[in-house]
Amino acid sequence: MVLKTIYIVRHGFRSNWVVDPATGEYSATVKSPTNIPSDPALASYGVSQATQLGSHLASVSPKVDVIYSSPFYRCIQTLVPFTDSLAGSGKVTVHIEPGLGEFYGLARFDHPSPASIRVLNEHFKHLHAEKDPIIVPSSKGESIPGLHDRVAYCLHELIARLDRDPEGPKTLLICTHAAGMICMGRALIGRMPEDEGEEDFKCFTCAFSKFTRKESGGEASKEVARWRADDAERVPSVEWQGGRGVGGGWTCEVNGDCSFLENGEERGWHFSGDESFLKDPNAFNDTINAANNGAVAVGNSTVEDRSHL
């Protein structure tokens, strides 16, 4: 085992989007830099949060050795103050991995994919994407258990990759989304609660979590089947539940800390039952978490507000 510490952060406060569940049409009042409505930039407040997070990341111990991010604009943008602070001291690389990306929920229509690495390189420095990603989420979305398995598989493969890295990185930083941050915590410690909505891992905007590897992790190098693009719906099992945890198991040392942020904990989120898009286009199944506490009327349609993710 080489990798010893994993830091996980959520992106900052962002601009909003909505989706019409009857048509699958996404829209946003603020244009996305990538021209994908569900790929918004940070709001100005989120930029301020990212700056505060960047200062915190620059002070953590052990220091960050390698950085991975969801491919969505808001996550990469959240890392910019930190990566800019590192640029003067040597080479900086932000690895882009789709398996760390957004959770949309099941749908009958295709969800939008994130921007390509070519487009992202027009907006950000220091980016790198492998030709073959670890795993790409289904365009039809995922169930909650499916999301957990996707995240667990991605982490398993990522940890194994870094364990094999000849440069010997010991500390990994990941920037992801609210749902992903919860699932990563569960996959690392190996516990799936009976109630998926249990608030076990905190995921406020720009929250910071820290996990340390168990020394007794005997299954750290366990080989599993590889995800294949030609069988994209099947997520290989890494048997992470029952206290096993991916990569031999981890201990949560810091859970969603926001003490370094000027206004502390904001915009928390948790799973709230069935997260799929309902067949009834006028139904709204996420009133607990939506910023507007319900559906948003647009003309004669009802759209689902995904502002919580």
| pLDDT digits 0-9 by tens, 10-24 | 999 999 888 887 888
Would you give the distance in Å from CA 85 to the centre of its chain? 23
Classify burial at 252, counting beta carbons within 10 Å of its beta carbon; exposed 0-12, middle 13-18, buried 19 or more: middle
CA angle 10, 140, 268 (to 5 degrees): 25
User: What is the chain's Cα-based Rg?
Assistant: 18
Architecture of domain 5-268: 3-Layer(aba) Sandwich (3.40)
In single-letter form, the type of residue at position 266 comes to: E
Q: C-alpha distances in angstroms, 174 versus 64, 74, 113, 169, 211?
A: 10, 13, 20, 14, 11
Give the separation between CA 253 and CA 262, rounded to whole angstroms.
22
Mean pLDDT by 10 residues, the chain (309 residues): 93 90 86 94 97 98 97 98 89 96 88 94 96 93 92 96 95 97 98 94 98 74 82 89 94 98 95 59 33 32 42
Share of the chain above pLDDT 70, in %: 86
Cβ within 8 Å of residue 204, ≥6 positions away: 10, 256, 258, 265, 266, 267, 268
